[in-house]
Structure 1
Amino acid sequence: MKNIATAARVIVSADGHGVVSHAGMAMLRELADRTGLSAQVTAALADTYRGPWVYAPGEVFADLAAAVADGADCIDAVSQLCGDREHAFGAKASTTTMWRLIDQRIDAAHLPAVRAARAAARVAAWEAGAAPISGDWLHIDIDATLVIDHSDNKHGATPTWKKTFGHHPLLAFLDRPEIAGGEALAGLLRTGNAGSNTASDHIIVLAQALAALPPGWRPDPNRDQDVPRPQVLVRCDTAGATHRFAAACRTAGVGFSFGYPVDARVQDAVDTLNLGACWYPAIEGAGGLRDGAWVAEATDLVSLDSWPPGTRLILRKERPHPGAQLRFTDADGMRVTAFITDTPPGVVPGQVAGLELRHRQHARVEDRIRELKATGLRNLPCHGFWANAAWLEIALAAADLVTWCRLIGFRTHPGLARAEIATFRYRVLHVAARITRSARQVRLRIDATWRWAAQIATAWQKIRTAFG
């Protein structure tokens, strides 16, 4: 029989001094200042004040974004997170001031200026080391999601296509595969009954997403062909496959890769390809063959005259996973999907299989949306429509701060750079530390027993060094 050691009782007392929890949130807050996000938002909202302010609007906006990234899901929670750390990071605005910023100051007239402020901060972040690899394609993924309203009294909340009640925002992310994450470029808050394939909404979000890119990375359809320019591709599911949106992409100088419905014409093309044994093995991201999946091009088998010149139709068939229910469009026990793209042959390695792999990676947008919902979007806390649109911008800014922090500070630490937001909060943002003051200096001493203490301290220094 084993002896059970009795643990010594821990004496608990409320007399600790200089201790601060969630110390990593200060790194995001400092990053907001160093990228100029705080100053840019202050300039954008300065005309909403009649006199001098006690707390600059950009400072309040940055506090909101950092706290939302740390896990706050409403303004009261933001105020509590910030107020509990005033002894460490200085006085913060009251809950009323934060509410006023969202309810009154960031209105429909000032939202474009806030978006421009976020774009200016992105320029600074990319110049400091968060930029994508030069020469690579930029992939913008657009998708919509539902945000449920449990109160039934928010402006713009209506019945949705899933028979729920809430809003239906349309979002655009820049895929950043080097950290298995993405940057939140743009978001359009819409009513719950907004259509999934509304071309005008996709065109608006595309324009906002391109404006959110640094000027040197934006596509220019009128540029000199001898001047190198990043190539941008927009990826959507079948909801984005409209003729107007495809034409808008062509006008903006970006490529497209849209899901395509498997209709009778596509099914006939599948039968023809089966008879001719024209399928080729699909590939994985690492370059190996994908077991049980094949791809083929059906551009010459289906009329695409109504689409922009150069549009190609790519098909994919795959064995459904065990337990999956077959659909009416599946052929011979194979699940068939299709997409269209205007990328010419020879541009993407792997030919047709490479194009299919690139389009399949659009599925990562679901991960971006899931993380954004865990970073403020799961709950729209205001009653007014434009106040909730302002909250959406704060959530997008919070997601960007986390992404830039990973790219600049943790790129060489995959365990932190590629972690889900819940894990990143636990390991980095929620770390405990102690505030000490000596020789006219304030020091933040991160818990030395914390497994990731050294990586956090190193990342903080990398961020400060990157911005000079």
Structure 2
Amino acid sequence: MALRLRPGNAGSNTAVDHIEVLDEAITQIPANHRHDLLITVDGAGATLELIRHITKRNAVPGPRVHYSVGFDLEHRARTAITKVPERVWEHVWDRDGNPRDLDDAGVIELTGLLRASVGGDELRNWPADMRIICRRERPSSGAQLCALEEADGWRYQLFATNTAGKQLAFLEARHRAHARVEDNIRCAKDTGVEHLPSKSLKINEAWCVAATIAATIAADLLCWLRLLCLDRSLADAEPKTLRYRILHTAVRLVRGQRKRKIKIPETWPWALQLETAFLAAFALTAPT
């Protein structure tokens, strides 16, 4: 894992910071596992400098690095979308790998329209192997839409990739998995990363390194807890929920009659789930 604490006035599209974090993350991967890497970035990382940097890595002999980067829905892309015939939209896959109805969602590639537009190559400054994929779906209530989306009744999301071939539905599903990153960031904050102890940037940077290591270990332990000891809704609960319902419960350890007993407050709403977790843990085979 690579993490960088930046000043509060740092821009979200600062390519230099993105490149440094990316290189640090790749360097940490053992050389024998550093092959066919996929870099996924949200819209804040859709900078020409970052994509050019990844392209330069592929210019030297070695493992190929693929990217799937959120792309801005600006006027060139909106113009290209209006030229797409309705019949050429393709199905996207749901979480079970089944095609969704085209009335609900669709995917199309805009690379050709952008490369051969009336005004010339709209992607002339970008790498030649970059592809632009567009996904559309019916907007949820309260979604902030541009004028085109308001008129069409669709919400459009674009991403850029250098992966050749492959079905558009595969590329779209692969990029959609990036949404889990936001969940991981939120969980990391819930395990202490966001609690900066000082006004000094240097001290907070050191804290972030230590807290990130601790949060990573905590995330692994919570995964094992969910897998081996919890069931029902708690098996999918996030750290904040687990901390409140299970981890911080004030139980008592009572000794007597050569036995030790765990006393769980009967009035605690999740007393049964906590008891089940203890019994599941005690039933595990002792490590050897």
TM-score (norm 2): 0.77
| Corresponding position of 1:248 | 53
CA distance in structure 1 between the partners assigned to 2:283 and 2:3 by the alignment? 32
In structure 2, relative to structure 1, the CA distance for the partners of 1:287 and 1:207 (3 Å cut) is same
CA distance in structure 1 between the partners assigned to 2:196 and 2:170 by the alignment? 39
Tell me which of 280, 296, 304 is aligned to 2:108.
296
| Corresponding position of 1:311 | 130
Matched, 1:286 2:101: no
In structure 1, list runs of 5 or more residues that go unmatched. Answer: 1-184, 221-230
| Corresponding position of 2:34 | 219
CA distance in structure 2 between the partners assigned to 1:209 and 1:458 by the alignment? 37
Shift of 1:199: 1.4
1:36-435 pair list within 5 angstroms: 185-213=1-29, 215=30, 218-220=33-35, 231-250=36-55, 251=57, 253-274=64-85, 277-288=87-98, 289=100, 292-303=104-115, 304-330=123-149, 332-346=152-166, 351-412=167-228, 413=230, 415-435=233-253
In structure 2, list runs of 5 or more residues that go unmatched. Answer: 59-63, 116-122, 266-270
CA distance in structure 2 between the partners assigned to 1:399 and 1:452 by the alignment? 23
Size of the aligned set, in residue pairs, is 265
Shift of 1:232: 2.8
Shift of 1:270: 1.0
Q: Which amino acid aligns with 2:87?
A: A
CA distance in structure 2 between the partners assigned to 1:430 and 1:232 by the alignment? 39
In structure 2, relative to structure 1, the CA distance for the partners of 1:342 and 1:456 (3 Å cut) is farther
In structure 2, relative to structure 1, the CA distance for the partners of 1:258 and 1:442 (3 Å cut) is farther
Shift of 1:432: 4.1
SS at match of 1:354: helix
SS at match of 1:257: strand
Matched, 1:452 2:274: yes
CA distance in structure 1 between the partners assigned to 2:285 and 2:243 by the alignment? 18
Shift of 1:391: 1.9
In structure 2, relative to structure 1, the CA distance for the partners of 1:398 and 1:429 (3 Å cut) is farther
TM-score (norm 1): 0.50
In structure 2, relative to structure 1, the CA distance for the partners of 1:329 and 1:390 (3 Å cut) is farther
Shift of 1:459: 4.5
Shift of 1:244: 2.6
CA distance in structure 1 between the partners assigned to 2:44 and 2:285 by the alignment? 39
| Corresponding position of 1:108 | none
CA distance in structure 1 between the partners assigned to 2:31 and 2:279 by the alignment? 32
CA distance in structure 1 between the partners assigned to 2:199 and 2:283 by the alignment? 41
Q: Which amino acid aligns with 1:301?
A: L
Q: Please provide the CA RMSD for this pair.
A: 3.3
Superposed CA deviations along residues 76-118 of structure 1, whole A, max 9, x for unmatched, are xxxxxxxxxxxxxxxxxxxxxxxxxxxxxxxxxxxxxxxxxxx
Shift of 1:369: 2.4
CA distance in structure 2 between the partners assigned to 1:255 and 1:196 by the alignment? 22
Superposed CA deviations along residues 153-194 of structure 1, whole A, max 9, x for unmatched, are xxxxxxxxxxxxxxxxxxxxxxxxxxxxxxxx2210001111
In structure 2, relative to structure 1, the CA distance for the partners of 1:464 and 1:384 (3 Å cut) is farther
CA distance in structure 1 between the partners assigned to 2:37 and 2:261 by the alignment? 42
Shift of 1:464: 6.8
Asked whether the 8 Å contact 1:294–1:317 carries over to 2, the reply is: yes
Shift of 1:416: 4.1
CA distance in structure 2 between the partners assigned to 1:388 and 1:444 by the alignment? 42
Shift of 1:457: 5.6
Shift of 1:433: 4.3
Shift of 1:434: 4.2
Asked whether the 8 Å contact 1:210–1:218 carries over to 2, the reply is: no
CA distance in structure 2 between the partners assigned to 1:337 and 1:202 by the alignment? 22
CA distance in structure 2 between the partners assigned to 1:333 and 1:322 by the alignment? 12
Superposed CA deviations along residues 125-172 of structure 1, whole A, max 9, x for unmatched, are xxxxxxxxxxxxxxxxxxxxxxxxxxxxxxxxxxxxxxxxxxxxxxxx
